[in-house]
């Protein structure tokens, strides 16, 4: 009984880890460096605030992290790569096609697997060569973001 009481008391005072502390060490290190240069913070506005996939096609797990610019408050996504590829920001002040430079509209996001066939009303279908991310606003437009040649590509999927 005493052990249960001590455990329960300890849990009552437990603090949730800040979002950045929940990232693997390699990703936290990249993000810390980028945050100083770009003035961004991790945003936990959407759960999950981080997605894992092989976004650069090297066979190793990379991360996509939801971020917010400290000054402008514009939201976006940072791709953190396991290899020596530099992190890549979309949104958060860095415009990407129809997504613009502020992804505050983003409500849903998920990883789309390499090899999946992606359809678009505006472009021909695409078979993914790496993992990508579908971003969407509930009841509105959606798009695929994938990395090609070290750059982010936007494929509008619906209006």
Concatenated DSSP letters for 25-66? HHHHHHHHHHHHHHTEEE--SSSSSEEEE-SSSSSS-EEEEE
Question: What own/partner pairs with CB < 8 Å and gap ≥ 24 does 62-66 have?
Answer: 63/23, 63/24, 63/27, 64/109, 64/111, 64/133, 65/23, 65/27, 65/31, 66/42, 66/106, 66/109
Strands 132-136 and 126-127: unpaired
Task: Flag whether pLDDT at 3 surpasses 60.
Answer: no
Give the model's pLDDT for residue 13.
58
pLDDT digits (tens, 9 = 90+) for 117-158: 887 777 788 899 999 999 999 888 789 999 999 999 998 887
Give the model's pLDDT for residue 5.
46
Q: Residue 136 in 3-state DSSP?
A: strand
Q: Residue 145 in 3-state DSSP?
A: strand
This prediction has a pTM of 0.85
Mean pLDDT score of the chain:
87
- Region 87-103: mean pLDDT is 92
Give the model's pLDDT for residue 66.
97
Give the model's pLDDT for residue 14.
61
Q: Where are the domains of the chain?
A: 18-158
Concatenated DSSP letters for 63-102? EEEEEEETTT--EEEEEE-SSSPPPEEEETTB-BGGGBS-
């Amino acid at each position: 009984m005493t052990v249960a009481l001590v455990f329960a008391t300890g849990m009552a005072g437990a603090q949730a880890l800040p979002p950045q502390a929940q990232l693997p060490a390699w990703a936290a290190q990249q993000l810390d460096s980028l945050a100083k240069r770009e003035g961004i913070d991790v945003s936990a506005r959407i759960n999950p605030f981080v997605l894992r996939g092989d976004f650069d096609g090297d066979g190793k797990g990379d991360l996509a992290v939801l971020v917010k610019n400290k000054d402008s408050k514009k939201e976006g996504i940072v791709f953190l790569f396991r290899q020596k590829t530099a992190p890549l920001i979309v949104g958060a002040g860095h415009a990407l096609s129809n997504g613009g430079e502020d992804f505050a509209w983003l409500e849903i996001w998920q990883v789309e697997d390499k090899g999946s066939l992606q359809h678009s009303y505006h472009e021909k279908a695409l078979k993914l060569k790496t993992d990508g991310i579908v971003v969407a606003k509930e009841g509105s437009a959606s798009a695929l973001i994938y990395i090609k040649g070290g750059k982010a590509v936007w494929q509008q999927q619906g209006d």
